[in-house]
Amino acid sequence: MKKLDVYQQLLNSKLTVVVRGNSPEQAIETAEACIRGGVKSLEFTFTIPQAEKVIQHFSNYDGIIIGAGSVLDSETAKLAIHSGAEYIVGPNFSKETARLCNRYQVPYIPGCMTVNETIEALEFGSSIVKLFPGQAFSPSHIKAVKGPVPQVEIMPTGGVDLDNIQDWFRNGAVHVGVGGEVTRPAQQGNFEMVTANAKLFIEAVEEVFV
């Protein structure tokens, strides 16, 4: 899929669920539960054992965008891309990872906390930056950043829950990342609850854009 197409799908889907797991099998079950709940974008972190195999498993699912998360370096990004990841997400900004993703024309969404980091990410080709950790900021932070840097698109991740998700969007977020608020029941094997949580988040997002 072309880079611009992936960005457009991310902008359309509004919500990515960040999937972690103690095993590839647990991560796969968790992701499938999210899909049943209506999630269209999944980010598999490289904290999952054999994360590349999980990415490969979902790489041909119709209508689902697959990302790789917790990508700290260009070597991991390359492995993720060759495994089928359509976008790369990091907790930090890495020039080497940005160059690698540009080479393969794969979107890179780096984690940024400061305006300096944000501008550097833009200069290296990122169209969306991840505000991380989101719980360190209030939703109004996005408006503050977009004052001097109106061209930046921001995706808060961490600290996004059902109580504040709509505030994030109303303050200018183009997309949000949610992890444990959706997937936590998977740790006890309760995948039905993961699906139920996913549905609640999808409904909350849809209310903002009706």
Q: How far apart are CA 112 and CA 121, in angstroms?
A: 8
Q: How far apart are CA 76 and CA 81, in angstroms?
A: 9
Catalytic residue among 14, 40, 78, 130: 130
Q: Torsion-angle region of residue 179: left (phi > 0), alpha (psi -120 to 50) or beta?
A: alpha
Location of structure tokens 């195999």: 53
Segment 146-149 long-range contacts (CB within 8 Å, at least 24 positions apart)? 146/172, 148/115, 149/115, 149/118, 149/119, 149/122
Q: Is 95 designated active site? A: no
Catalytic residue among 43, 52, 153, 181: 43
Q: Is 207 designated active site? A: no
Burial class, 14, CB count within 10 angstroms (exposed 0-12 / middle 13-18 / buried 19+): buried
Euclidean distance between the first and the last CA atom of the chain, given in angstroms as a whole number: 28
Q: How far apart are CA 126 and CA 26, in angstroms?
A: 31
Burial class, 150, CB count within 10 angstroms (exposed 0-12 / middle 13-18 / buried 19+): exposed
- Cβ neighbors of 114 (< 8 A, separation 6 or more) are none
Q: Which residues are catalytic?
A: 43, 130
